[in-house]
Amino acid sequence: MSTAVVTGGGRGIGRAIALRLASDGHAVAVNDVDKATAEAVTAEIAEAGGRAATVAGDVTDRDAVFGMVESAVAAFGSVDVMVANAGIAQVKTLRELTAADLQRMFEVNVFGVVWCLQAAAEQMIAQGTGGKIISAASIAGHSGFDRLGHYSATKFGVRALTQAAAKELAPHGITVNAYCPGIVDTAMWELIDDQLGGYLGTAKGEAMKQYSQLITLGRVQTPEDVAGLVSYLAGPDSNYMTGQSVVIDGGIVMV
């Protein structure tokens, strides 16, 4: 019996991952800072016959993250998979960034991932059964994107953390990997599209269309496209993979 915690699981990519892992047979502890959305996804999983519990909370709060793992263990007996998916984006040039912008971006996308790594590792080591830690990076973690410089820096950071954690946790049978989506049709890209519009002078939807020209496969990515990779990273077929930040983007950034 395997239990997965999915942060930012209330919508978008996190929701698709939570639903997919549940249908793969994992019990899923659904986290989000927006409790109502996490509860809705928990209910969706239960209605489909899966096992789920809500573990709401803010990933920037270390104690809250350790509490989420505790609650998941209380509900299902273990934590075997941690998906540190929660993240935020903001479009701004580096010249415009304030200390608050930079701080917030790192608090969620880097600090949040570290707290998830720590809480999951402690639990998995105590269980003695190994585990899988999976984090959200991005194509912006492989190539620095203009007007998304601080976002890109956090995602390069996730790749570094993934590599270091893979080495530190291998002796405990824990693998650590990341997924790097491209342009996924979620609320995050709605925000990016809107904020980019201010720079490009484009109307709603136009910036996303322009950026989508870069996609080799010729269509925008769905959250389910990402969830398929995470299903693999959470399952036994990826047992020999660690330290990798795998791009799944329809062929925008080829590494």
What whole-number distance in Å separates Cα of residue 115 and Cα of residue 121? Answer: 10
**At its nearest, how many Å lie between ligand NAD and the CB of residue 7?**
5
Which among 24, 27, 37, 35 has a CA at the least distance from the CA of 4? 27
177 binds ligand NAD (CB under 6 A): no
Q: Determine which residue in the list 1, 34, 46, 103 makes contact with ligand NAD, applying CB under 6 A.
A: 34
How far apart, in Å, do the first and last CA atoms of the chain sit?
Answer: 35
Binding marks (x or -) toward ligand NAD, 198..217, rule CB under 6 A?
--------------------
12 binds ligand NAD (CB under 6 A): yes
**At its nearest, how many Å lie between ligand NAD and the CB of residue 108?**
5
| Residue 15: strand, helix, or coil | helix
What whole-number distance in Å separates Cα of residue 30 and Cα of residue 20? Answer: 12
250 binds ligand NAD (CB under 6 A): no
240 tagged catalytic: no
Query: Of 58 and 78, which has the nearer Cβ to ligand NAD?
Result: 58
Alpha-helical segments (H) within the chain: 12-23, 35-47, 62-76, 99-106, 112-127, 149-169, 187-200, 206-212, 223-234
Query: Of 64 and 125, which has the nearer Cβ to ligand NAD?
Result: 64
What whole-number distance in Å separates Cα of residue 250 and Cα of residue 181? Answer: 9
Name every residue whose Cβ is closer than 8 Å to that of residue 207 and which is 6 or more positions away in sequence.
192, 193, 196, 197, 200
What whole-number distance in Å separates Cα of residue 174 and Cα of residue 8? Answer: 22
Q: Determine which residue in the list 60, 231, 238, 242 makes contact with ligand NAD, applying CB under 6 A.
A: 60
108 binds ligand NAD (CB under 6 A): yes
**At its nearest, how many Å lie between ligand NAD and the CB of residue 172?**
25
What whole-number distance in Å separates Cα of residue 68 and Cα of residue 6? Answer: 10
**At its nearest, how many Å lie between ligand NAD and the CB of residue 181?**
4
Nearest-CB residue to ligand NAD?
Answer: 87
Record the tokens describing residue 132, joined without a space. 């899988």
183 binds ligand NAD (CB under 6 A): yes
> What amino acid positions are annotated as catalytic residues?
151
- In the complex, the residues that contact ligand NAD under the rule CB under 6 A are 7-8, 10-14, 31-34, 37, 58-60, 85-89, 108, 112, 136, 138, 181, 183-184, 186-189
